[in-house]
Structure 1
Amino acid sequence: MSVDERAPAVARTVSPPVPARRPSPSLGKAVVVIAPLSLTIALGLWGIRRQNTMWGDESVTYQLAHRDLSQIWHTAQHIDLVHALYYAVMHELFDLFGPGLLTLRLPSVLAMSVAASGVGLLALHLAGPRAGLLAGLVFPLLPQVQKYAQEGRSYAMVCALVTWATYALVVSVPHRARWRWAVYGFTMLLACLLHEFAVLALVAHGVTLAVSRVPRPVLRAWSVAAAGVVAGLLPLAIYSAGQSGQVSWIDGPVRLRYLLIVAVVGVACARAPLGARGPVRLSALAVPILVLPGLLLLTASLVKPLFVDRYVVYSNIGIALLLGAWMDYFHRRQRSSRIAWVAAVAVLAALVPPSLSLRTPQSRSNDATAIGAAVRKEGRPGDGLLYLTGQHRILTAANPEDTRLLTDLALAQDPASSNTLAGVELPAQEIAARMLEFDRIVAVRATRAHSPANPREEAKTSALRRHFRECRTTHVNGARITVYVRDHGHVPRAGVITAPVSVGCGSFE
C-alpha cells in the first residue's frame, strides 16, 4: 500500500481541535463582587481602632446608641433627628455584640464593602467585566472611602444604599418591571432616612435618565418612585428643619478640595468613550452622581453654609466608575501593558501616605479620648469642671471615668435624663455663684469654636476673668484644657494694696 493510500486512514485518526473554554459569566461576576468586597474589608480592618481613640461625632453615636430606644426617640425630638434611625440601628447592634470600638466601626466597614461590590457590578453592567473589577478595586482605595469606612457614623451605610439603589435603577431601565422600581424607591428612601442629603443622589439619577433619553414609560416609572421617596422623606425634612442650629458650626465649605479634584479627574476621564452597553451609558450615570450632589449642596450654602464632604461621600461612586472604565479603555488602546503597570504603581504609591495618616488620631478634627484623658490628668478630685461652651460636654463623654472625680459646675440635668446630647445647664447667676465656691477649675474649650453670645457663657467667662487666673493650658487635638486657680485678692479697697492669695497650680498625679 502506498503512502498516499494510507493518508486518509491516518487523517481519520486525528481528533478534531477542542474549542477554547470561555470563562463562565457567573464566575466573572463572582470575582467582580468578591474581590472589591475582600479588599475593602481588609483596608477597613487595618488600623480600625486608631490607637483606641474616638472622635466627637463617634462619641455621640456611642452615647446615644447606648440609650433605650424610647430615650433615643425623645432625644431626637430636640436634636439630631436626622440620625435617629442610625442610632436605633446601632442600639440593636450594641445589644447583640456588646459595646466597644469594633462594634462601633465594623458596621461601616461592612457597609462600605457592600458598596464596593455594588460599584463593581455597576461597571460590569455598563462597561464589561474588566471595567467592573477595576472600578470595584479603585473604590476602596479612595482616601475618602477609607476614612468613612472606619467611622461610627451613618455615611458608609448611606453610601452602600445609594450604590445599590443606583444599580437597581440601571437594571430597571430595560426591564420596566414594577417590582424593580419598588426596590429602587425603597432603597433610596432608606438611604434618605439615614441621612437627608442622600436625596441629592435622586436628582443625579433623574439627570442620568434625562440625558440618556430613555423612553417615557421609564421616566414615568422613575418619577413615581422618586415622588414616593420625597413623600416618605418630607416629614423628617420638615421636623429636622427646626433643628438647623446643630449645623451652625459650619461657617464655610468643609474639605471642598477633595471633591473639586475628583470632579476634575472624573470629567476628564468621561471624555473617553467609556463603554456603551445598554440604554444608560456609564459616563451619563457617573458624572451626575459625582458632580451634582456636591454642586447642589454648595449652591444651597449660598443661603446657609451646609457643605461638608462626608454629607456626599456617595459621590465617590462616580469617580470609581469613571476611573475603572478609563483604565479598561486605556488597557485596550495600549499594545504594551508596561505603561499601565507603571501608572498603577505610581497611583498606589501616592495613596500610601494618606492611607497611613487616616489611621491616626490626628486624622480627625478632634480626639475625644485624648480630651477626656487630659481633663483627668489636669484635674484634682473635687475640682470644678467647666465647658466653654456647654455643647462641648460631649467631648469628654466617651469615658465617664475621666470626669467622675470633678464637679460639673454648670450642669443642672445630665444628658440622658434630659434627653439631650449635652445636658441642661443652670441659669447664668447660679453658674457664677457655683464657680466662686471652688479654688480650682478645669475649663474645656473646643478649638476654633465660637462662644455663643448668651447669658450662661458670658457668666462663665466673666467669672473666670474677674475671680480666677490662668495657671496653664494643655493643647490636645480639638480642644484646650485650661486650669484656673482662684485669685482671692483681686479686688483691693481704695487706697489699700493687698497681696493676692492664690491656690497652687500643681496637678494631681
Structure 2
Amino acid sequence: MWPALATLAIAFLRINGPQLGTDELVTSDVGHRSMGQILAMLHNVDAVHATYYVLMHGWMAVFGDSEAAMRTPSVLAMSGTAALVALIGRRLFGPRAGMCGGMLFALIPVVSRFAQEARSYALVVLAATLATFLLLRALDMPRRWWRWAGYALCVAVVGLLHLVALTVLAGHCVAVVLRARQESGVLWRFCLAALAGAACVVPVVVLGTSQASRQLFWVPEPDAWGLADIWPQVFASGLCTGVVITLAAMAWTERRDAVLLCFTVAVLPPFVLWVASHGDVSYFRFQYAMFTVPAWAVLAGAGLARATRSWLSVGVALTVFGLLVLPDQRRMRGEFEHDVPHNADYMAAARTIEKYYRSGDAAVYVKGAPWMLDQGVRYYLRSGPKLREVFVATSAAENNELYPVYCPVPVTCLRGESRIWVVVPGNNPDPLNSVPADQARVLRAKYTTSGTVPLSGLTVALLKRKR
C-alpha cells in the first residue's frame, strides 16, 4: 500500500504543469474520434496502439480530456506497478526488501515522468510487471492450470498494449529453464502459456509489422555504445541510474534464482531490442525498455535491505535518494518537458488567438518540426473559438489517418475570409516563409501580415485581407 500511495502522490504533483506533448496530442485526437473512425485509422497507422486508443476513447467519454484526466490512467498504472514491485520483492527477498524496492520505484524520476504521460507506456510497465508476478505464482504451484491461464492472459495484454514489451518473455524463459531443472513439466507449461498469450496478438503483429517502417523510420540504428547509453534515459537521470545499479549489485549474494530472474528481466529485453534494431527497422528507444525499471527496483530494494540494519536507516537512505533525484523530478515537470526539443508553446498560441479573435476568423496551421502543431493549438482552444482551417480539404479523422488532406489548388479553398491566423513552427521574421509555397503564394496575393507574435517554438501571425 505505501509504495502505491507514494507513487500516486508524487505522480499527481503538478500533473497539469507540462503542456501536452506530440504523442499525447495524438491520444487526444484519436480518443475524440468515433469507434468506427478509430478502427478505420488502425488499418493505416498505429495498429500497435489499438488497445490503448480504445481504452482512452472510453475513458475520455466519461472523465473528459483535460491534461489531468488523460494522464490519470498512467498515474494509476504506475501506482499499481509500485505495489507489484513491493509484492515481488517480498516474495523473492523478504518484506523489508519488498518495501525498499517499492519505495525506490516511487522515487525514480522516469516513473513520475511517464505517470504524467497520456500514452500507453505506464500501462505497459504495469502489465509486464504483473506478468512477472503471475509467473512467480504459477511457478509456486505449476500443476494448477488456472495460474498459467492467468499468466497467458497477462502476456496477451502486454502484447496488445505494446508488441515490443513481449521481449519480457526472454527474461522469463531463463528463469523457467533454471526452475525446470528442479521440477519436471514446468518448461512445457510455460511454453504453452506464453505461446497462447502471444497468439492472441497475431493480428496486431501482422498490421504493426506492415506499418513499422513508416512509424519508426526516424529511429537510428544503435551502435555498440547504445547498450550502455540507454540506461540514463530509461531512468531519466544519470545519477539515479548509478545509484540504482549500485544497490542492485549489492543484492548479488542473495538467492541465486531470484537475482537471476530480476537480472534477466532487467537486461535481456534491451539487448534483444538492440539486436532486432540492426535490420530494416530500429526499435531501440528508451521508452520501449521502460518496463525493465521494476526489475531493477526489486534488485535495488534487496540491495538496500541488505545494506541497512533497521527501518530508521532505510528511511534515511530513501530520504537521501529522494533529495538526490529532486532536481530531476523538478525537471520532469517543466512546461515543455513533454515536447522536447521543440518546446512549442501551444497554450500561449491559443491564448493569443483567443484574445484577438473576431467572428469569422479562419486559420492556417503549418506542419513542421512539432508535427502536431495544429492539434496542439486546437486542443488549447477547445473551450474557445472554433476556427475553420482554410486549406484542409479532408480532416484527419475523415481521412482515417493522423494527417488531413490539403486542397490541391489552395486558392479554391478560400471563402473570402477577412482575417486568417497563421501558426508556424520556429520564429522566422516572415512567418509566410514557413508556409508551403503554393499556399504562401495565395496568402501573399490576397492578404497582408498585420502582426506577428513569436513564442517558444512557434510564431502566431494575423493576416488581413487586402482592400
**Smaller-chain TM-score bracket:** 0.7 to 0.9
Instruction: Report the counterpart of residue 17 of structure 1 in structure 2.
Output: none
Instruction: Report the counterpart of residue 60 of structure 1 in structure 2.
Output: 26
- Name structure 2 gaps, 5 residues minimum: 428-434
CA distance in 2, matches of 1:264, 1:229: 35
CA distance in 1, matches of 2:439, 2:384: 19
Secondary structure class of the residue paired with 1:388: coil
Q: Comparing 460-469 with 215-224, which one deviates more in the overlay?
A: 460-469
Q: What are the equivalent positions in structure 2 for 1:152-171 lying under 5 Å apart?
A: 152-171=118-137
Q: Does 1:192 find its partner at 2:192? A: no
1:356 pairs with one of 325, 330, 351:
330
CA distance in 2, matches of 1:374, 1:235: 45
* Contact 1:169 1:181 (C-alpha < 8 Å) held by counterparts: yes
Instruction: Report the counterpart of residue 44 of structure 1 in structure 2.
Output: 11
* Contact 2:104 2:318 (C-alpha < 8 Å) held by counterparts: no
Instruction: Report the counterpart of residue 327 of structure 1 in structure 2.
Output: 304
Instruction: Report the counterpart of residue 480 of structure 1 in structure 2.
Output: 458
Q: What are the equivalent positions in structure 2 for 1:294-305 lying under 5 Å apart?
A: 294-303=270-279, 304-305=281-282
- Superposed CA RMSD in Å reads 3.6
Q: What are the equivalent positions in structure 2 for 1:219-238 lying under 5 Å apart?
A: 219-238=187-206
* Contact 2:25 2:372 (C-alpha < 8 Å) held by counterparts: no
Q: Which amino acid aligns with 2:153?
A: F
Q: Does 1:423 find its partner at 2:404? A: yes
CA distance in 1, matches of 2:445, 2:283: 38
Q: What are the equivalent positions in structure 2 for 1:94-109 lying under 5 Å apart?
A: 94-109=60-75
Secondary structure class of the residue paired with 1:181: helix
Relative contact order: is structure 1 or structure 2 higher (C-alpha 8 Å, sep ≥ 6)? 2
* Contact 1:376 1:402 (C-alpha < 8 Å) held by counterparts: no
Instruction: Report the counterpart of residue 288 of structure 2 in structure 1.
Output: 311
CA distance in 1, matches of 2:234, 2:396: 36
- Name structure 1 gaps, 5 residues minimum: 1-33, 449-455, 487-501, 505-509
* Contact 1:440 1:485 (C-alpha < 8 Å) held by counterparts: yes
Higher gyration radius (CA): 1
Instruction: Report the counterpart of residue 267 of structure 2 in structure 1.
Output: 291
* Contact 1:270 1:283 (C-alpha < 8 Å) held by counterparts: no
The alignment-based identity, stated in percent, is 27
* Contact 2:152 2:193 (C-alpha < 8 Å) held by counterparts: yes
Residue 284 of structure 1: how far off its partner (Å) = 1.0
Q: Which amino acid aligns with 1:475?
A: L
Instruction: Report the counterpart of residue 369 of structure 1 in structure 2.
Output: 347
Q: What are the equivalent positions in structure 2 for 1:57-456 lying under 5 Å apart?
A: 57-176=23-142, 177-210=144-177, 214=181, 215-244=183-212, 245-251=214-220, 256=230, 257-259=232-234, 261=238, 268-274=246-252, 276=254, 281-303=257-279, 304-332=281-309, 343-365=317-339, 366=343, 368-374=346-352, 376=354, 382=361, 384-389=363-368, 392-401=373-382, 404=385, 406-427=387-408, 430-431=409-410, 442-446=421-425
Query: What CA deviation, in whole Å up to 9, does each residue of 1:36-91 have, x standing for no partner?
Result: 1111111122212227x433322222232222222221121222222121121122
CA distance in 2, matches of 1:274, 1:288: 13
- Label 1:300 to 1:372 Cα distance change in 2 as closer, same or farther (>3 A): farther
Residue-pair matches, total: 439
Residue 213 of structure 1: how far off its partner (Å) = 5.8
Instruction: Report the counterpart of residue 431 of structure 2 in structure 1.
Output: none
* Contact 1:472 1:484 (C-alpha < 8 Å) held by counterparts: yes
Q: Which amino acid aligns with 1:474?
A: P
- Label 1:190 to 1:198 Cα distance change in 2 as closer, same or farther (>3 A): same
Q: TM-score, structure 1 length as denominator?
A: 0.75
Q: Which amino acid aligns with 1:202?
A: L
CA distance in 1, matches of 2:57, 2:387: 29
- Label 1:420 to 1:173 Cα distance change in 2 as closer, same or farther (>3 A): same
Q: Comparing 392-401 with 74-83, which one deviates more in the overlay?
A: 392-401
